[in-house]
């Protein structure tokens, strides 16, 4: 039986900063006896990840003794479209994301999700010079709503081929000397990827604002700057900040997240 984690050609491993993609990296290292020549591990930082995510990416590199390239979007024009950073120099106030919105002059939304393409996919491709069919992404076998899109792009999904599901990921991290310091609620890492990503269920976003209202400041600022919203069928982030003061319950708890390339 073919080992889906075995690498035989130049490959890009996309590390989202979550437990699933990190587990995928660990399996690759186990199957190949370490990092093979021509294999590059990339983490694209948007500046809106929680600090715990950045610490987790750093810890993966330290504990597993592998180089992880940290990439940030700079501009859509000019020669230097991205830059290489590290844990210490990585943006933490949404600077890459804000620059993209300034250039586009409107915010991404559920129909035009250009943030993932511009902030993650294109910078990584520009750096690695590798195609989708040479790129591994951390999608599990139990993420049925995401798999078709990834396969259509030709991306490598070794966790799907290996039949890895959420339970396997949880059991793995229980036994490790380090872990992502973000809690799960109802089986979901609430602060995974961008903290208040508009693709997350509305109730989840509002709950995170209730926990820490300042999280919404950056998002509200972007909407005000372009005179639009990230999601046309929801209140703006500024309105959600105002609603938070009433401690009300705005949204249904069973809304699902919208599938995205970003990962776990």
Query: What DSSP state is assigned to residue 257?
Result: P
Q: Return the beta strands (E) in 54-172 as ranges.
A: 69-73, 82-85, 135-136
- Can you give the pLDDT at residue 123? 97
Q: Which of 185, 166, 186 minimizes the C-alpha distance to 174?
A: 166
Task: Please enumerate in sequence order all residues whose Cβ is within 8 A of that of 124, keeping only pairs 6 or more positions apart, or say none.
Answer: 12, 14, 42, 44, 71, 135
Q: Kindly list the domain boundaries of the chain, sorted by start residue.
A: 11-183, 188-244
Q: Which of 172, 154, 161 minimizes the C-alpha distance to 22?
A: 172
Dihedral, CA of residue 196, residue 202, residue 204 and residue 210, to nearest 10: 80
Instruction: State whether CATH 1.10.3720.10 applies to domain 11-183.
Output: no
Taking the C-alpha atoms of residue 65 and residue 74, their distance in angstroms, rounded to an integer, is 28
- Report helix, strand or coil for 140: coil
Taking the C-alpha atoms of residue 216 and residue 209, their distance in angstroms, rounded to an integer, is 6
Dump pLDDT digits (tens) for 119-163: 999 999 999 999 999 999 999 999 988 899 999 999 999 999 999
- Report helix, strand or coil for 43: strand
- Can you give the pLDDT at residue 260? 53
Dump pLDDT digits (tens) for 154-211: 999 999 999 999 999 999 999 999 999 998 776 678 778 899 999 999 888 998 999 9
Instruction: Check if the beta carbon of residue 17 is closer than 8 Å to that of residue 54.
Output: yes
Tokens of 135: 């790129």
Taking the C-alpha atoms of residue 200 and residue 79, their distance in angstroms, rounded to an integer, is 34
Q: Mean of the per-residue pLDDT values for the chain?
A: 91
- Can you give the pLDDT at residue 151? 92
Taking the C-alpha atoms of residue 36 and residue 246, their distance in angstroms, rounded to an integer, is 55
Query: What DSSP state is assigned to residue 132?
Result: G
Per DSSP bridges, beta strands 69-73 and 188-189 are unpaired
Query: Confidence band (pLDDT; 50, 70, 90) for 252?
Result: very low
Task: Please enumerate in sequence order all residues whose Cβ is within 8 A of that of 79, keeping only pairs 6 or more positions apart, or say none.
Answer: none
């Amino acid at each position: 039986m073919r080992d889906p984690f075995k690498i035989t050609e130049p490959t890009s491993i996309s590390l989202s900063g979550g437990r699933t993609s990190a587990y995928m990296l660990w399996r690759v290292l186990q199957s190949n006896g370490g990092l093979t020549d021509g294999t590059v591990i990339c983490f694209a930082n948007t500046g809106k990840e929680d600090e715990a995510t950045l610490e987790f990416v750093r810890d993966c590199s330290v504990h597993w003794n592998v180089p992880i390239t940290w990439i940030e979007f700079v501009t859509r024009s000019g020669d230097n479209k991205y830059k290489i950073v590290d844990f210490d120099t990585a943006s933490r106030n949404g600077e890459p994301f804000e620059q993209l919105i300034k250039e586009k002059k409107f915010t991404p939304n559920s129909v035009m999700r250009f943030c993932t393409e511009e902030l993650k996919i294109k910078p990584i491709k520009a750096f690695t010079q590798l195609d989708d069919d040479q790129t591994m992404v951390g999608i599990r076998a139990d993420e049925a709503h995401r798999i078709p899109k990834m396969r259509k792009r030709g991306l490598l999904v070794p966790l799907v081929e290996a039949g890895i599901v959420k339970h396997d990921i949880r059991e793995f991290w229980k036994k490790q000397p380090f872990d992502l310091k973000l809690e799960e609620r109802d089986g979901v890492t609430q602060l995974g990827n961008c903290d208040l990503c508009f693709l997350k269920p509305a109730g989840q976003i509002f709950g995170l604002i209730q926990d820490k209202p300042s999280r919404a400041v950056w998002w509200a600022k972007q909407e005000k700057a372009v005179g639009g919203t990230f999601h046309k069928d929801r209140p703006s982030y500024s309105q959600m900040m105002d609603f938070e003061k009433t401690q009300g319950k705005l949204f249904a708890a069973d809304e699902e997240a919208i599938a995205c390339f970003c990962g776990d």
